[in-house]
Amino acid sequence: MSAAVEAPPRTEVTRRPAIGIAAMLGTTLVVPLTGLSVKLLHDVGLGAIMTMALRSGGVLVIFLPLLLIERNRHALVTAHKRAHLWHAFFGLSSMACFYYGLGYLPLVVVTSINFTTPIFVMLMAIPLLKETPDRFSWIAAGVGFCGTLLVLNPTAADFNAVGLVILTGALLTGCMIIVIRKMPANSTHFAVLFYYAALGALVFGIIAVLTATPEEWAALRQPVAWLYLAGIAFFACTLQFLLTLAYRLSMSSSIAALDYLRLIWAGGLGYLVFGELPGPLAVVGMVLIIASGIALIIRQRAQARRGSAR
């Protein structure tokens, strides 16, 4: 489950806002469905590492036939390999953190902590991209931080440190976004996704073989496990397709806030399937995190308008 959603490279196309908005709304359902599948796999007996390995392998299998297209083969050869390596390192590490957290915390809680990524991006952009946040952005980030503390509730007697793993995943997602911003233009969307899946299948495949428990090997003999894995691979490809439509047919600033609807789907699915209900403090924290994220989106949109007007 990718925390933050990366926008694919845009080309000049005719804007169709209604289709773009519909595609973005689709992503808000696909991402929680992916998280739901990961939680169901955990219940079957598969851990985060094995799930990551098989998920990446499944996506790679789907992408392999696309290598028959000469343009895609050329994209892999000419791509900036080091940038793809860093992108895959941060992206796959963050996904592993979220997959791990989904096995122990409610789906809606994991989703809400995922939305702290914009705060980390803002902070890292100061030294790395030479960006200077204004007072409004700092206040919004502070509100999001307070919301995160309420969701994690570190003073509670039953504090679950798994929340810190998910927060680390949000930080790593922020690192991935910074890498994407600095990625050379000759790295196409296909190259980004292909190397991401290939490196994930290789690295996590090796780790999974070396660390898999007898329970995990037994779980792989259950047909339902492969059904969930097929669903995760399908959702991963569907997500990228919908994102491409959304960001090509609509302005990024007009659809970014829609991503927060994921929390509604995550909360509903978590309750219907697992009976998960966050506590009152967690709900307040989620509201603050959402408010922080939307405020940062609005500020970035205003700054982009001022920049284009100069």
**pLDDT tens, 108-143?**
999 999 999 989 988 998 998 888 888 999 999 999
- Over 70: is that where the pLDDT of 254 sits? no
Q: Where are the alpha helices (DSSP H) in 103-222?
A: 107-114, 117-128, 135-152, 162-182, 189-211, 214-219
* CA 216 vs CA 29, 61, 163: distances in Å: 28, 22, 24
Contact of 176 with 94, CB cutoff 8 Å: yes
pLDDT at 27: 92
Q: Which of 19-33, 57-71, 151-165, 202-216 has the lowest mean pLDDT?
A: 151-165
**% the chain with pLDDT above 70:** 89
Question: How many whole angstroms separate alpha carbon 42 and alpha carbon 104?
Answer: 9
**% the chain with pLDDT above 90:** 60
Query: Based on the number of CB atoms within 10 Å of its own CB, is 192 exposed (0-12), middle (13-18) or buried (19 or more)?
Result: buried
Contact of 261 with 73, CB cutoff 8 Å: no
pLDDT at 109: 92
- How many angstroms from the chain centroid is the CA of residue 202? 20
How many CB atoms sit inside 10 A of residue 264's CB? 14
**pLDDT tens, 177-232?**
888 888 776 678 888 889 999 999 999 999 999 999 999 999 999 999 999 999 99
pLDDT at 11: 45
80: left (phi over 0), alpha (psi -120 to 50) or beta: beta
Could you tell me which residues come within 8 angstroms of residue 262 by beta carbon, excluding any fewer than 6 positions away? 28, 31, 32, 111
Closest of 227, 247, 198, 293 to residue 3, by C-alpha: 293
Closest of 287, 231, 205, 177 to residue 35, by C-alpha: 231
Contact of 166 with 114, CB cutoff 8 Å: yes
